Structure 1
Amino acid sequence: MRSNEVGTADKRVRRTLRQARTDRSGAVSVIFALLILPLMIAVGAAVDYAIAARTREMLQAAADAAAVGAISMSSSAVKQVIASGTSGEIKVAESDALKIAQTNFSGSRFSDITSSQISVQYTGNTFSSDVALTSEVPTYFVRIFGVDTVTVSVRATAQNKPIYYYNFYVLIDNSPSMGLGATAADISALEAVNGGCAFACHITGASYDTYALAQKQGITLRYKVVSRAVQSMITNAAASQLVSNQYKMAVYSLGADAQTTKLTQVAGLSSSLASVASAAANVDLMTIPYQNYNNDQQTDLLAALNGIRSIMGVSGSGLSANDPIKVLFLISDGVEDAERPKNCWEKLNGNRCQQPLDTTPCVSIKANDVKLASLYTTYQKIPSNTWYTTWIAPFQTRIATKMKACASDGLYAEVPPSGDVSAVLTQLFANVVSETHLTH
């Protein structure tokens, strides 16, 4: 090919390429024009979605705050229950929940809370809240397609199981009848060294003191098992506290000396449970100055229960240390023996009344909303003892019935001689707490 022909061909190629570039630029412009609208819609939708997502986060936070705040310990709901003891739906708390939600959502720049469904309940010693909120979030880009708002809905639930505070009062029967052997084997061993008598009388200054004899022989008496069990229960209670000073305890007996038989404080109400436990372990068998002193009338449970009822007063809600739930533990063999010529339900021996527990004060105590736990240490049958067969055997079967009637529902237990008093008493304590105790 000649040189002039080559030059001509090269010019045609360059012209064709320039035309192609011009045609492609026009096509790109058309394509871009076709794509720009959906791209703008996608970007706009993303912005609207981001606003809705952020609004939902804020709405959820508001619902969470409302659900928790409406049933916090400082809330109107809890205060109302403390003041009135109401249960069921708590309207004031529902109103509070909405206010809390609105306050926490006020930072939203795009929408408000448009609807709400709120429920606050107090049942079964549990505060429960259920908060559902809705917000209509306006759109800014996708409204060109007729979508003016996006509905955002959230829900939050919460429960508050408050710590409950208790004052426990323990009344230990340490009268001479609690000087019986703790088990059948102890009774037999005591009878063998005590001329056939199953009771270890604690006679002050006597040269022959069967109480001391029982100790020397290693014979365990019923009162000692009880005092140790009370110590164990208090020790376990101290370890189970969820907060400091959640429990306070006091211990009482029927008196250290038969000559001054009366309700006697062994340990005053205190949050120092270790010191109360130590005092309980030292509760001793009531002493008598001589055999058959005062016709053996040293078990006036009626007077003791009336006395401790006055000391305890009315039980509280338990929601604060200043308004504690009050609980009485009665630990006894369930037989009264006192001078009571009137209102004795069994046959009198002169003015001496021997009978199962009179439950009249129990009714009064429970009417003050005090929980009453009754532990019956089985009164052992002593068929070889004439006094027992004459005066106690006729109503033996009713002793347990009366001790159970004294107790609040579910708070009665009986421990036979072979039973573990400590384990049963500790379980009774757990039963008391489980009725009302709530944890976060």
Structure 2
Amino acid sequence: MRSFRSDRSGNVLTLFAITLVPILALTGGLIDYTEAANARIQLNAAADSAALAAVSQAAMLKSIADSKADAEKIFDANAASYKSMVASRTVEITNVGLSRSAKVVYSANYPTYFASFVGQGKVVVSGTSSAAGARAPFIDFFLLLDNSPSMGVAATTDDIAVMVAKTTDQCAFACHQMDKATSDYYTLAKKLGVQMRIDVVRSASQQLMDTAKSTATLTGQYRMAAYTMGPSCNGKTLTTIQSITSDLTAAKTSAAAIDLMTIPYAGYNNDQCTDFDATLTSMNAVIDNPGDGSSAASPQKVLYFVSDGVGDFYNPSGCSQPTTSGRCQEPIDTSFCKTIKDRGIKIAVLYTTYLPLPTNSWYNSWIKPFSAKIPTNMQACASPGLYFEVSPSQGIAEAMNALFQRIVTKAYLSM
């Protein structure tokens, strides 16, 4: 013992003893801060879950107060292990149109075990999580389907060739003439297996009902109605095929009744069977005022217009083209579309290309001079981005579904 007390060579041991306390404090502090960092990771995850839940489709059907309460519960459940440490947590939710943003902010005091020896009794951890989303819009679709005699044209160039070859006057139009069986090219087209434009539109409309049904994420999200320009050129008027309904299966069944307008006899009413002005005016009266799409009680409104875009009706003074005995053959008058759009109703136009008929003298005399304006006016009738043209090589059903997806996408992004 006397030797140990008198030995002066243990300076390293002395220095180690002096530095042991701060070394232990630093090591313990590292452990404390590591545990605090792990707690922050878990609390951040809880905040993320709460923010995302607040902008989910289910949450956006609820009020802000209810969504906020649900988000707080989700945060608390996921942060249950740190309940005693959480000093504060707030959830802020804001709706703008169909868009919603959520922000979750929290602060927690993580107690230390080692750092407390040097006066650091807690580590403050905090975090913020933000999320945004768009509510799935509720939309009412009003299908206006041109079933005038011009929609009896054969659907493809091959079908046109068949009709031209099988008719004495080389006519590609399958007019549904009622007085003479020999003049009823509609029946002939059916017998030859020729598809008319109206056949394709009917099938495409039914497929559209299926698309809407499979796309919907909410009950009653999409409703459909279907109209034609009338069953007959004799007393033509806007005709309801299916009034607005959320039963898309029933709407599909009703759409089977879409068919070509009949004519009593050749040359009836000077072939004036396509009055877009009157039809769009009547359609405007059918569609009630649109909402913002935020609920089933406030749906957006979309007029889904399918046509070849050529009017043929009595209009002696207001026609944009030369007339004969008051018969007006012209591209669609876009002012009637504007009246509808000015109410906040979107118009989606599917233009079924008016095919040139070079062997038809009527076409060459009356339609060919303004043929370039037909697609131009149809596009002008449509709301921005909601125009689609279908050429003979394309499928009308595919085009109608593609246009439907555009409508739904724009409904999300434009609000």
TM bin, normalised by shorter chain, reads 0.7 to 0.9
User: Compared with structure 1, are the counterparts of its residues 266 and 111 closer, same or farther at alpha carbon in structure 2 (3 Å cutoff)?
Assistant: closer
Q: Counterparts in 2 of 1:323-402, with a 5 A limit?
A: 323-402=298-377
Which residue identity is paired with 1:380?
A: L
Match of 1:151 among 124, 127, 133: 124
Deviation at 1:236, TM superposition (A): 2.5
Q: Which runs of 5+ in 2 are unaligned?
A: 1-17
Which residue identity is paired with 2:243?
A: G
User: Compared with structure 1, are the counterparts of its residues 68 and 290 closer, same or farther at alpha carbon in structure 2 (3 Å cutoff)?
Assistant: same
Which residue identity is paired with 1:359?
A: T
Q: Does 1:173 align with 2:156?
A: no
Q: Counterparts in 2 of 1:27-426, with a 5 A limit?
A: 63=47, 67-68=51-52, 71=55, 112-113=87-88, 126-136=99-109, 142-143=115-116, 145-192=118-165, 193-208=167-182, 209-426=184-401
Contact 1:62/1:100 (8 A) holds in 2? no
User: Compared with structure 1, are the counterparts of its residues 46 and 420 closer, same or farther at alpha carbon in structure 2 (3 Å cutoff)?
Assistant: closer
Deviation at 1:51, TM superposition (A): 11
Contact 1:354/1:392 (8 A) holds in 2? yes
Contact 2:97/2:294 (8 A) holds in 1? no
Q: Structure 2 CA distance, aligned partners of 1:375 and 1:286?
A: 19
Contact 1:227/1:280 (8 A) holds in 2? yes
Contact 1:77/1:93 (8 A) holds in 2? no
Match of 1:31 in 2: none
List per-residue Cα deviations over 1:205-263 (Å, max 9, x = no partner). 43322211221222222211111111122222222222333221111000001112111
Secondary structure of the structure 1 residue equivalent to 2:399: helix
Secondary structure of the structure 2 residue equivalent to 1:198: coil
Q: Structure 2 CA distance, aligned partners of 1:215 and 1:101?
A: 62
Which residue identity is paired with 1:196?
A: Q
User: Compared with structure 1, are the counterparts of its residues 79 and 198 closer, same or farther at alpha carbon in structure 2 (3 Å cutoff)?
Assistant: same
Q: Structure 2 CA distance, aligned partners of 1:424 and 1:69?
A: 35
Which residue identity is paired with 1:325?
A: Q
What is the TM-score normalised by the length of structure 2?
Answer: 0.79
Q: Structure 2 CA distance, aligned partners of 1:142 and 1:167?
A: 64
Q: Structure 2 CA distance, aligned partners of 1:75 and 1:384?
A: 61
User: Compared with structure 1, are the counterparts of its residues 111 and 274 closer, same or farther at alpha carbon in structure 2 (3 Å cutoff)?
Assistant: closer
Which residue identity is paired with 2:349?
A: S
The answer to which of 67-76 and 265-274 deviates more is: 67-76
Which residue identity is paired with 1:253?
A: T
Deviation at 1:103, TM superposition (A): 9.4
Q: Structure 1 CA distance, aligned partners of 2:324 and 2:96?
A: 52
Q: Which runs of 5+ in 1 are unaligned?
A: 1-33, 81-91
Which residue identity is paired with 2:131?
A: A
Which residue identity is paired with 2:175?
A: C
Contact 1:71/1:77 (8 A) holds in 2? no
List per-residue Cα deviations over 1:107-143 (Å, max 9, x = no partner). 9556633x98x87666895433343433456779855
Deviation at 1:437, TM superposition (A): 4.9
Q: Structure 1 CA distance, aligned partners of 2:351 and 2:204?
A: 13
User: Compared with structure 1, are the counterparts of its residues 97 and 45 closer, same or farther at alpha carbon in structure 2 (3 Å cutoff)?
Assistant: farther
Secondary structure of the structure 2 residue equivalent to 1:365: helix
Which residue identity is paired with 1:288?
A: I
Deviation at 1:102, TM superposition (A): 11
Deviation at 1:199, TM superposition (A): 1.8
User: Compared with structure 1, are the counterparts of its residues 152 and 356 closer, same or farther at alpha carbon in structure 2 (3 Å cutoff)?
Assistant: same
Which residue identity is paired with 1:168?
A: F
Which residue identity is paired with 2:290?
A: S
User: Compared with structure 1, are the counterparts of its residues 153 and 142 closer, same or farther at alpha carbon in structure 2 (3 Å cutoff)?
Assistant: same
Q: Structure 2 CA distance, aligned partners of 1:248 and 1:434?
A: 17
Q: Structure 2 CA distance, aligned partners of 1:207 and 1:129?
A: 68
List per-residue Cα deviations over 1:74-132 (Å, max 9, x = no partner). 9899869xxxxxxxxxxx9999999999999999556633x98x876668954333434
Deviation at 1:346, TM superposition (A): 1.4
Which residue identity is paired with 1:296?
A: D
List per-residue Cα deviations over 1:158-190 (Å, max 9, x = no partner). 344433222111111000111111122222222
User: Compared with structure 1, are the counterparts of its residues 355 and 109 closer, same or farther at alpha carbon in structure 2 (3 Å cutoff)?
Assistant: same
Q: Structure 2 CA distance, aligned partners of 1:74 and 1:380?
A: 47
User: Compared with structure 1, are the counterparts of its residues 291 and 78 closer, same or farther at alpha carbon in structure 2 (3 Å cutoff)?
Assistant: same
Deviation at 1:290, TM superposition (A): 1.2
Secondary structure of the structure 1 residue equivalent to 2:372: helix
